[in-house]
Amino acid sequence: MEREGEDDVAGVDSSLTTTSLHHFRDSDDVGFTLTILESMKEDYGLFVWPCSVILAEYVWQQRSRFSGANVLELGAGTSLPGLVAAKVGATVTLTDDCNRTEVLANIGRQCDLNNLNCKVQGLTWGVWDAPIFDLHPNIILGADVLYDTTAFDDLFATVTFLLQSYPGSVFITTYHNRSGHRLIEFLMVKWGLNCMKLIDGFSFLPAQKASGLSGNIQLVEIALNGE
């Protein structure tokens, strides 16, 4: 990721002082670059977290699977994974906490800046507002949404509901692994879910991107039990 200095993008809050460039390239050096507006205030939803860089790269590498998919990103923040999904041909809804209007407005700016037509919607985990009943995604994304243990039940209530709303759907999330695999095992049993794939987030990341990141980040694909 490259960061640039002060930006002067029209209409952007003055606290959003940085743009970062994110490159996605295949082995023939064909691909695209996305520009993300960030605030260096370290607000949770206005900064590109490492989990997001890793999940976005995974979407790019699995792009044939995302082309034509109906994708929903939870806790999207600056939305890099969802924007990559849109770029490779998915129909994408980007969501974040209903109460965080600054984050939701910034998601809209990311779409405009990258000429991507995504739906932006408030979706607070564990809250059953009417629009959630119309979503039916077949791929749900979430980067760094497993960080506050007090929010896990609300998050997984929403994820389980969404998985039930579309047969064969999957939740793909990246998270900082601080407890071995016990956390995922616990959540799978509690919510009647099945861990389909669990991989080291750095195992597929190009060296150039990995060099700027650190930590133990895992990527997990989760489905309903029996699917």
221 burial type by CB count under 10 A (0-12 exposed, 13-18 middle, 19+ buried):
middle
Shortest gap between Cβ of 38 and ligand SAM (angstroms)? 9
Taking CB under 6 A as the binding criterion, the range among 71-79, 107-115, 165-173, 188-196 that sits at the site for ligand SAM is 71-79
Kindly tell me which residue out of 106, 114, 124, 177 binds ligand SAM, with binding defined by CB under 6 A: 124
Shortest gap between Cβ of 84 and ligand SAM (angstroms)? 13
Kindly tell me which residue out of 48, 88, 116, 159 binds ligand SAM, with binding defined by CB under 6 A: 48
Shortest gap between Cβ of 33 and ligand SAM (angstroms)? 18
Compute how many residues bind ligand SAM; rule: CB under 6 A. Answer: 22
Measuring CA to CA, how many Å separate 155 from each of 127, 148, 182?
Answer: 10, 10, 18
Shortest gap between Cβ of 43 and ligand SAM (angstroms)? 8
Binding mask 20-39 for ligand SAM (x = CB under 6 A): --------------------
Does residue 144 contact residue 175 with C-beta atoms inside 8 Å? Answer: yes
Is residue 151 part of the contact set for ligand SAM (CB under 6 A)? yes
Measuring CA to CA, how many Å separate 39 from each of 6, 42, 45, 106, 209?
Answer: 11, 7, 9, 10, 21
120 burial type by CB count under 10 A (0-12 exposed, 13-18 middle, 19+ buried):
buried
3-state DSSP assignment of residue 67: coil
Is residue 152 part of the contact set for ligand SAM (CB under 6 A)? no
